[in-house]
Amino acid sequence: MKAPLPPPSDAQAPHRQSEADAATTSAKESRTPAGSINGPLRVVSRSAPEAQRVWAARLLRAIAPAVDALSAIGESQDPNVKPENRSANAVPTWFAGETKPVDAAPVLDGALERVGYAPCGQMTDKKLSLLGYRADWSSSEIEHLLTLKILGQPNQFVSAECSLRHPPAEAFANETMLRYLPDAFRTIYAHMFPWECGLRFDLGKSAGWPEGRLDAPKQTPQELGRTIDAAVRKFAVAKYQSVRDCAALFELAIADETPFRWQSWGDSRRVAMTIYLGRKLGHPSASLKSALASHVGTFKSPPDKSAPSAAEFVDRALTEADAALTRR
């Protein structure tokens, strides 16, 4: 998991009182009911410093359309039905030998469809585009997702991330993060991007792309498509296509093996997801606590003494996972 960028300090961020107030007002109008994580979250706490509120508000506004578009994808998704690509926005990208930008979305869609991934959403602005894909072999329990990130001015760098999820476990992890993270971090950590999951890896780094990304202007559209196709086949399909049930996902999640290594700063979201899967499969609470307590994330900026300790976080997650599983 990539470390989320820390919010800017008050000295670094521009002071725009109207923007921060607008975010707080929006929270009142669209606050998610307790116990529910359906739809995008736009809650920005008044207790956070203004600069952090502004930063969080911008991030959440940027991802909200994509979260809305994907709200129907998840636990109820029929694995045999390709999700609709609900955005028609072009992603103009410079390629080798081209005299003007080419829309990269059809190029990338075609490359991934050949290897079994269907478009499931898109988020585009002038500086960054995110294209989401869902594997055709996703089962009723496990979804296989891939995100392509295209960035630069003009669009030129392409990176890729593969992820796997059991939607109920992912939902439980999101809700747990919302309850127990320091207040200023809750909305940011809970929904960074629509396709970001608790178990994921950087495809570009696994494939040995320079700096983990491809430079589109150095390739033709066809070459770019073939490069991505080859990486997905080798590092995603060949290795993880067989992960189609909760037991297999749990083994990947609790282990500390490449490419799913635990990060040194911790990953509370993955901890909560793994707890849910472990209790669902009947693993003893004591063994889960022993294996996972050291992986709970620490939050040093801003300091928040109300945040639970690692042991408390795991204890609460275990109790709530059992309750959530009982309700299902």
| pLDDT by 10s per residue, the chain, length 328 | 444 444 444 444 333 344 344 433 443 333 333 333 333 333 444 555 565 555 555 554 544 444 444 343 343 444 444 444 444 578 888 899 888 888 999 999 999 999 999 998 888 877 788 999 999 999 999 999 999 999 887 778 999 999 999 999 999 998 888 787 776 666 666 556 666 788 999 999 999 999 999 999 999 999 999 999 999 999 999 999 999 999 999 999 999 999 999 988 889 889 999 999 999 999 999 999 999 999 998 765 455 566 678 898 999 999 999 999 998 7
- Are residues 170 and 303 both part of a single domain? yes
- Are residues 56 and 76 both part of a single domain? no
6 inside domain: no
Please tell me the number of Cα atoms within 13 Å of 316 on its side-chain side.
Answer: 18
Name the nearest CA neighbour of 163 among 289, 298, 2: 2
For the whole model, what pTM was predicted?
0.71
Domain that holds residue 41: 13-69
4 inside domain: no
How many domains does the structure of the chain reveal?
2
Name the nearest CA neighbour of 147 among 192, 196, 190: 196
Locate tokens 């709200």: which residue? 71
8 inside domain: no
232 inside domain: yes
- Are residues 174 and 96 both part of a single domain? yes
**171: Cβ–Cβ under 8 A, 6 or more apart, which residues?**
37, 74, 75
Q: Which of 69, 85, 102 is the last residue of a domain?
A: 69
- Are residues 198 and 258 both part of a single domain? yes
The reported pLDDT for the residue numbered 255 is 95
CA–CA separation, 80 vs 96, rounded Å?
Answer: 37
- Are residues 47 and 187 both part of a single domain? no
- Are residues 24 and 103 both part of a single domain? no
- Are residues 101 and 228 both part of a single domain? yes
308 inside domain: yes
- Are residues 63 and 102 both part of a single domain? no
- Are residues 277 and 314 both part of a single domain? yes
- Are residues 76 and 37 both part of a single domain? no
Is 133 in a helix, a strand, or coil? strand
7 inside domain: no
5 inside domain: no
149 inside domain: yes
- Are residues 114 and 163 both part of a single domain? yes
**7: Cβ–Cβ under 8 A, 6 or more apart, which residues?**
13, 51, 52, 55, 56, 184, 188, 301
Q: Spell out a b/e string for 10-35, using b for 16 or more CB atoms within 10 Å of the CB, else e.
A: eeebeeeeebbbbbbebbeeeebeee
- Apex 16 CA angle, 304 and 3, nearest 5: 45
